[in-house]
Amino acid sequence: MKIANRINKIPPYPFVQISRTIAQKKSEGIDVISFGIGDPDIPTPDTVIESLTKGSLKDINHRYPESEGLPEFRLGVANWYSKRFGIELNPDNEIISLIGAKEGIGHVSLALLNPDDIALIPDPGYPVYSIGTLFAAGQDYIMPLLKKNNWLPDLTEIPEEIARKAKVMWLNYPNNPTGAIVQDSYLNDVVEFAKKYDITILHDACYTEIYYDNYLPKSFLNIPGAKDVGIEFHSLSKSYNMTGWRIGMAVGNSEIIKALEIVKSNLDSGAPQAIQEMALAALSLDQEYIETRNAIYENRRNKIVETLNNIGLYVDPPKASLYIWAEVPEGYSSKDFSEQLLEECNVLVSPGTSYGKYGEGFVRLSLTLSDDKIDEALTRIAKWKQ
């Protein structure tokens, strides 16, 4: 039996490794507290669950869904984008449902890349950008995200010959794993760059609804001309604590959306309709729900930042996202520090190199632990090297 060569090129998915590490420790009777995975501990709102219960009883929802999503779902997304971002979208051809944003992010490379086409990939970044490129037989060109550049790709450092060959560019703000945010002036430059070199922009916006310090993230599509050159991926997973329900959307340029629909219609049968109805209920929630939930995350952020700074990790408090991106103490690599914290404190953090080689020197901590777990983890961390 022979396995495809592409499988042997794929590194272990970091979150799978995290789960295995925790399971091994637990089998040894050790209580490990993990900051590793960004899976919200706050449950899906009750009213959203109630809509799923009602939707699951409808006979029509027991049948195959359509890959593009229910008309009602697409209209709901259009209304949400209009209300939240002031962006007008055509629900008929500028919106498609996804089985979680990860699915669409993985599939879109099949719609846009020919073998050996170049994808501009941020590093550190969400691993699926490069994995999708690999599955489509494309080639990565890494755009380093560096502290000195505020974790933004330096467009001027992309060689002319690479820019002319590049087919797509991935961006993600608010950013995972760094927590960085982006200004309109930078995104204006991105749109200009994309138009100059005929590059499609693929923006992962899954963290726009998690924000602090009176900061309110925008959509990439708020930028003039953005819809001409790209699409945006969004998800209800982090926005409404619905990671397990696997529902999201891609919006923007109709030609790209159509290409993605062709891939999806041949590889999946769409998101279950009852879950799309559930998503509609979530998108109809008042923004007060988001504000209340974010206050919980902000309090957690503040506690974690204070403790990490006290033990010698430099942290710039993020204004958005679910993550703390902490610079490890001098003399440690990301891997060494995370391993020592696990062995000495039974606390797991993600080494920055899980998200690319330019993540070296940093670790990522998620805010998605209950407050009592965070308090216990911080008590353990506070004793590190004392």
Transcribe 323-380 into DSSP letters: EEEEEPPTT--HHHHHHHHHHHH-EE-EEGGGG-GGGTTEEEEES-S-HHHHHHHHHH
Residue ranges, comma separated, of all CATH 3.40.640.10 domains in the chain are: 63-285
Contact 235, 207 (CB under 8 A): no
Residue ranges, comma separated, of all CATH 3.90.1150.10 domains in the chain are: 5-44+288-382
Tokens of 128: 């699926």
DSSP 8-class letter at 63: S
Segment 161-185 shows an average pLDDT of 98
State the residue for tokens 């209340």.
292
Angle between helices 334-345 and 371-382 (to 10 degrees): 100
Query: pLDDT per residue over 346-368, tens digit each?
Result: 999 999 999 999 999 999 999 99
Q: What is the pLDDT of residue 14?
A: 66
Q: What is the pLDDT of residue 12?
A: 73
- Please provide residue 87's backbone torsions phi and psi, each rounded to the nearest 5 degrees: -105, 130
Q: What is the mean pLDDT of the chain?
A: 95
Q: What is the pLDDT of residue 334?
A: 94
CA distance 356 to 359: 6
Q: What is the pLDDT of residue 50?
A: 97
Q: What is the pLDDT of residue 9?
A: 85
Query: pLDDT per residue over 279-303, tens digit each?
Result: 999 999 999 999 999 999 999 999 9
Q: Which CATH class is domain 63-285?
A: alpha beta
Q: How confident is the model at residue 266 (pLDDT cuts 50, 70, 90)?
A: very high
CB atoms within 10 A of CB 127: 18
Contact 166, 187 (CB under 8 A): no
Q: What is the pLDDT of residue 274?
A: 98
> Which has the closest alpha carbon to 137: 265, 9, 231, 11?
9
Q: How far is CA 377 from CA 121, 361, 374, 383, in A?
A: 33, 21, 5, 10
Contact 100, 272 (CB under 8 A): no
Instruction: Identify residue 84 by its one-letter amino acid code.
Output: R
Q: What is the pLDDT of residue 261?
A: 97
Instruction: State the alpha helices, DSSP H only, in the chain.
Output: 5-9, 14-27, 46-56, 71-85, 101-112, 128-135, 160-165, 184-197, 226-229, 236-239, 254-267, 273-283, 287-310, 334-345, 371-382
Q: What is the pLDDT of residue 220?
A: 98
SS3 202: strand
- Please provide residue 269's backbone torsions phi and psi, each rounded to the nearest 5 degrees: -110, 20
Instruction: Identify residue 16 by its one-letter amino acid code.
Output: V
pTM over 0.85: yes
Contact 133, 266 (CB under 8 A): no
Segment 197-222 shows an average pLDDT of 98
Tokens of 324: 């703390």
Q: What is the pLDDT of residue 17?
A: 67
Q: Select from 3.90.1150.10, 2.70.98.90, 3.40.1360.10, 1.10.10.10 the CATH code of 5-44+288-382.
A: 3.90.1150.10
